[in-house]
Structure 1
């Protein structure tokens, strides 16, 4: 049986095929449309089927090319907002260099994501050639490997557009699966469902043949998996414990809307100071227990003696409401003066108490990786005269109104950073971002990440940005309020402080190693 299956499979293997390349491109486009801002989330449940077809009927080397092609489409489109780094002429960068920096940043991160899909395609093609009749095991192996590659990529400085983002912010029941094992739960059910459908739906080119009855059975398994996932998610949604009434908290946010190209000038600094001072006073009068500003609200090194910061400290002293200020603070205990991207809670005594330092710095923006090679080619894009240093992963943001969970900028894509803080006692999420000069559709993607973080941790999330989208999300992922982009605004938001520990908060991503273990055990048994 195995020999005949292998011969049938090899009969469908050929060199480069434009038909198969077209299917791969189509697959990448379809799954991309499931991402925000399009949010056609249902497309992700069958958009990977053509990719499964192609890599399983292709030699491993060519499967890598098809996998890379899929990744170039998916990541290339979903990350095209990076090119909005251009223009940088206001920083003294020549026009041509500005274009080169933006394109280089885009291509680099796109290829980084696409390389993972190339590895996945190679592995699945190789496994199919060795075990062509173990189709269900191949689905398990493909699911485990995709989850593992996403988990590994999330340990690196560059990550965006995981498959789980295709379901956010709309498919709330499936989002609740993240409470079990984090983002891997969504990735696993999407990849597995597509793999099963690739078996159930006849392939348009020669491949491993299956009887019609078995295809129908596999199709029913796929349908059962989708239904079970939604039912489990709905159950988690319905059984969430309510927070006590005394846990309510009112926080004010200020969306300054001062573009980076302006706020790095003396006039921009004064404009930012005026807007944040006025907004702070207004929100304090409305009864906010604390007021929050975006990432880098005052683009200056923290120095209480500087005129702008001294004026802000005086205002806080007069009003008495804590201010959570996004700024650049000296690293505590450093032998040399090094700075972190920080959120500081300033109280009426003129001192900062709660503090969170950004852990996941932005490559090229806040530091230059491989500086010996790239340092001469790329100018740093931060407003500082020296590179930023990352904060420590085990931080706790303890404030006058409770212990918070903080993410700065694109840390929203790194669930592990939020999990650590929630497990350590964090009661609510605050994300502070700049988001300038990026377009609104990037802001929608960023909002989708915050929805994921809120659901998986069973916490309310308040999103504070410079240019948008600021918003409030409850612990079920429902957007309670969303501000207008590229507009100066203030908002007073009431949210819950919660202390529940979801299975994901307790045990982390246990699903990925379980899937990998099952793949090895069942593969070993099948080889006997």
Structure 2
């Protein structure tokens, strides 16, 4: 604890003048960006918000400076953590000019970085106001509650990825188990609370600092103790609920997938992988998002070797393909195909990728995007209340980008989903993004207390148990087939039952604390 406090004091005692404040804000954002995968230096998240909190507590910090500090912290965090988005470039294989491709990649990266930074800017404005008028307890309650509320709002938007909670995945499994209480926001709340207490220590009179020091210890020890208790609960899975799942990682690069050669390669690899796994005795086979880049159910699909293999070997297939929608539109789908070749279950991707699968603000951006890209059609989102049927009962499904939306997984768990299947592409992104994506799915497995099987096109495919242990993880950019046993579960965590109740409670307590004390009371009382 002494080491943490000393480091926090060093970070917050340097550069508090307005001219140096931006350096301190940037340093905090960089530290937070080093916490999640692929670096995985998760302890840094427990002090990376301290510099920004201290800057906002300074009497000379105006609302304008608060906006600058928040934007710098937010852009440093999101810009570094999401740098993999720039690997969209080059798109020359699509016929996009090199400069146009660079423009698309930078625009996509800049948009999501700015959106993440706006969250921090809004929070910073509120905290400057609160520091001027309210005492420590109110500042802590508002700081924690408001951050969780903003994350909740951002998680309902088309652009989200960098919740503070994911900085702890996959390294800190004990604290991630707090997600079973109120989702990822429980983890975020504890991180913000510890940072706030550390920052407030040097804002207090000397004889009161030990109280906040004890609060930091209590939060760290108490939260990890609760998480450890949840982590130690036995799974008690039985053979009766076992499913031996085969996973195919096709490794068909997106740049060739839509060409005749790419279609042939995909058909050959998934047919071969299916035959290998079905012959080995698996109960079902899972493929990635868009494993076959055409609409399933046409005459062409029924002539493929994969379709014939399913009819011959009778092992159910969970196939990533395009699903036909009314008016000749398509959806990004995961299909349950039984041994007779019939589609008996279908899940259509709800959260589409902006710019890649649809154009946000289409009336404004469509002309720009159409000038830079040859894409002529976009996908249709699925209904949020879908229920994915399998021969083993209902399952929870996430396709690609949906892994970040915990409420999507919770909703399907409420509907009876017994295990998690995620299907993703992940090409052309690097291994760092793949590690972050795996970390997101790992959190969903813990929150819902479900086994998860992950199939990706280029990696990282894997199997995760309900305690977040990665039991198998593929190598990136390789063709791989793997078989592993997962289990059906019908437990309901507090989060599955009640949802994000903690954020509502924190906002309620913050509201009471704002009303209770007299305005203009000393901010250091």
Which TM-score bucket, shorter chain as reference?
A: over 0.9
- Give the aligned partner of residue 128 of structure 1: 131
Tell me which of 482, 492, 508 is aligned to 1:517: 508
- Give the aligned partner of residue 6 of structure 1: none
Aligned positions, number: 504
With over 3 angstroms needed to count, the CA separation of the structure-2 counterparts of 1:261 and 1:379, relative to structure 1, is farther
Tell me which of 61, 79, 88 is aligned to 1:76: 79
- Give the aligned partner of residue 263 of structure 1: 257
Please identify, of 377-386 and 403-412, the stretch whose mean Cα deviation from structure 2 is larger: 377-386
- Give the aligned partner of residue 278 of structure 2: 284
Tell me which of 455, 458, 483 is aligned to 1:464: 455
2:43 maps to 1:42: yes
Say if 1:304 and 1:310, in contact at 8 Å, map to a contact too. Answer: no
1:233-252 matches, within 5 Å, as: 233-252=227-246
- Give the aligned partner of residue 4 of structure 1: none
Q: TM-score, normalised by structure 2?
A: 0.93
- Give the aligned partner of residue 5 of structure 2: none
Q: TM-score, normalised by structure 1?
A: 0.93
With over 3 angstroms needed to count, the CA separation of the structure-2 counterparts of 1:21 and 1:309, relative to structure 1, is farther
With over 3 angstroms needed to count, the CA separation of the structure-2 counterparts of 1:374 and 1:272, relative to structure 1, is same
RMSD: 1.8
- Give the aligned partner of residue 69 of structure 2: 66
Deviation string, structure 1 residues 436-478 (Cα, Å, up to 9, x no partner): 0000000000000011000010001111000000001100001
Ranges in structure 2 where 5+ consecutive residues have no aligned partner:
1-12, 520-525
Q: In structure 1, how many angstroms separate the alpha carbons of the residues matched to 2:357 and 2:416?
A: 29
- Give the aligned partner of residue 323 of structure 2: 329
How far off its partner does 1:246 sit?
1.1
Q: In structure 1, how many angstroms separate the alpha carbons of the residues matched to 2:489 and 2:277?
A: 24
2:113 maps to 1:119: no
With over 3 angstroms needed to count, the CA separation of the structure-2 counterparts of 1:309 and 1:394, relative to structure 1, is farther
Q: In structure 1, how many angstroms separate the alpha carbons of the residues matched to 2:281 and 2:449?
A: 26
Q: For residue 403 of structure 2, give the secondary structure of its aligned residue in structure 1.
A: helix
How far off its partner does 1:381 sit?
10
Tell me which of 442, 458, 476 is aligned to 2:433: 442
Q: In structure 1, how many angstroms separate the alpha carbons of the residues matched to 2:500 and 2:321?
A: 33
Please identify, of 100-109 and 305-314, the stretch whose mean Cα deviation from structure 2 is larger: 305-314
With over 3 angstroms needed to count, the CA separation of the structure-2 counterparts of 1:519 and 1:357, relative to structure 1, is same
Tell me which of 389, 397, 400 is aligned to 2:380: 389
Q: In structure 2, how many angstroms separate the alpha carbons of the residues matched to 1:265 and 1:100?
A: 24
How far off its partner does 1:371 sit?
1.2
Say if 1:457 and 1:502, in contact at 8 Å, map to a contact too. Answer: yes
Q: For residue 330 of structure 1, give the secondary structure of its aligned residue in structure 2.
A: strand
Please identify, of 141-150 and 370-379, the stretch whose mean Cα deviation from structure 2 is larger: 370-379
Please identify, of 302-311 and 262-271, the stretch whose mean Cα deviation from structure 2 is larger: 302-311
- Give the aligned partner of residue 347 of structure 1: 338
Q: In structure 2, how many angstroms separate the alpha carbons of the residues matched to 1:348 and 1:100?
A: 46
Deviation string, structure 1 residues 148-189 (Cα, Å, up to 9, x no partner): 000000000110111000110011110000000001100000
Q: In structure 2, how many angstroms separate the alpha carbons of the residues matched to 1:190 and 1:398?
A: 38
- Give the aligned partner of residue 247 of structure 2: 253
1:472-491 matches, within 5 Å, as: 472-491=463-482
Q: In structure 1, how many angstroms separate the alpha carbons of the residues matched to 2:113 and 2:362?
A: 20
Q: For residue 527 of structure 1, give the secondary structure of its aligned residue in structure 2.
A: coil
Say if 2:101 and 2:372, in contact at 8 Å, map to a contact too. Answer: no
With over 3 angstroms needed to count, the CA separation of the structure-2 counterparts of 1:226 and 1:15, relative to structure 1, is closer
Q: For residue 352 of structure 2, give the secondary structure of its aligned residue in structure 1.
A: coil
Deviation string, structure 1 residues 193-242 (Cα, Å, up to 9, x no partner): 00001122x3xxxxx5x221211111111111110000001111123452
Say if 1:273 and 1:308, in contact at 8 Å, map to a contact too. Answer: no
Say if 1:144 and 1:519, in contact at 8 Å, map to a contact too. Answer: yes
How far off its partner does 1:385 sit?
4.9
Q: In structure 1, how many angstroms separate the alpha carbons of the residues matched to 2:305 and 2:47?
A: 57
How far off its partner does 1:350 sit?
2.0
Say if 2:301 and 2:307, in contact at 8 Å, map to a contact too. Answer: no
